[in-house]
Amino acid sequence: MDNITIGQYIPGSSWIYRMDPRMKIILTVILMVITFILPSLISVSIALAIFILVFITTRIPLMKMLAGLKPVVYLMIFTFILQICYTKGNEDTLLKILEFHFSFITLAIMLGILIFYFLTKKYVPLKMIYFLVVISSLFVVQYFIDNDLLFNLSYRLKVYEEGVIKGGFVAIRVILMISITSLLTFTTSTMEINNGISSVLSPLKLLHIPVSIFSMMLSLTLRFIPTLLTETRKIMDAQSSRGVDFSEGGLKSKVTQVVSLLVPMFVISFRRAEELSNAMVARGYDLDSKRTRYDKLKLHFMDYLGLFLCLGAMVGIIVWRVI
């Protein structure tokens, strides 16, 4: 929960902070499109390397970005394994044939590893790495142990080059998507996002679409994600001090723990919403009134340069794929 970085603004003074919020939103959309139209593993790897170089120049702590990727690590690993298992190739691209065995001995060892994992996981600080090591050890046991004469079932996994390439391609694409969106919220405050979205979507006002309401809702959502996460952590700490263990227990106890967490969270959310609405009314906020801004948005050289480079990259990739 502490690893969710969407909506967390990090104060700074590098070049990306001085960019116009409208342009940062437009560039984020363009970069997302580029991420989806990149055709190969080499191209997305090059895009990831370029993004890392650009990210270094922003002087944002690297651990912040890595922390934001932790919630999707399991999803990326699961997707990578699925691609390896189900993507087929031909004999020329066959990399390895892995033969795994099920027997009484392997099942007993695997069961012992799982019991040891559940008994020790709460004492290990790096739980994600520990989990990956345990899962890997289960496959290692099946691969190397084959000496049970009474019961022995085996299955083969053919690893093709196409599966490895496709799995890596999907994983890097997910990393790019999350990193790009996180970079926007890291370097743009909620007020700037609100003003930027209002300006970018202002042509929709001709269709009588309430752009100001939409932008305000989005900016408030991003603003209160970190606040609600902090409140959730406080509730979890308070319940842990009363003996509740959120990392242990069966399905029934998990459901009870989730309910005990959701009820106060809903109460806090409604209370925050009521306090916010009262504060906005007290300050004269009117949905139908024309909004004015203290800071006038103005494009600079870096904004035009970023737009030129991103549009050039997108057009070049489209032309490359068509030709």
**Residue ranges of domains in the chain:** 1-194+300-323, 211-286
d(CA 132, CA 121): 12
Angle between helices 62-69 and 161-187 (to 10 degrees): 120
Question: What pLDDT does 76 receive?
Answer: 83
Element containing residue 232 per DSSP (H, E): helix 211-241
The pLDDT, as a whole number, for residue 240 is 76
Residue 7 in this model has a pLDDT that exceeds 60: no
Residue range 257-298, pLDDT digits in tens: 777 778 888 888 888 888 888 888 888 777 666 766 666 778
Give the pLDDT band of residue 147 (cuts 50, 70, 90).
Answer: low
Q: How many residues does the chain have?
A: 323
Q: Give helix 161-187 / helix 21-37 axis angle, nearest 10°.
A: 180
Position 26 confidence tier, pLDDT thresholds 50, 70, 90: very high
C-alpha dist (Å) from residue 67 to 6, 78, 234:
11, 19, 20
d(CA 50, CA 43): 11
* Cβ atoms < 10 Å from Cβ of 287: 10
Report the pLDDT value the prediction gives residue 246, as an integer from 0 to 100: 64
What is the C-alpha separation between 180 and 197, in angstroms, rounded? 17
Asked whether residue 190 carries a pLDDT value surpassing 60, the answer given is: yes
If DSSP codes are grouped into helix, strand and coil, which group holds residue 211? Answer: helix
Residue 53 pLDDT? 92
Give me the mean pLDDT over the 19-39 stretch.
92
pLDDT of residue 291: 67
pTM for the complete prediction?
0.74
Amino acid 91 reads: E
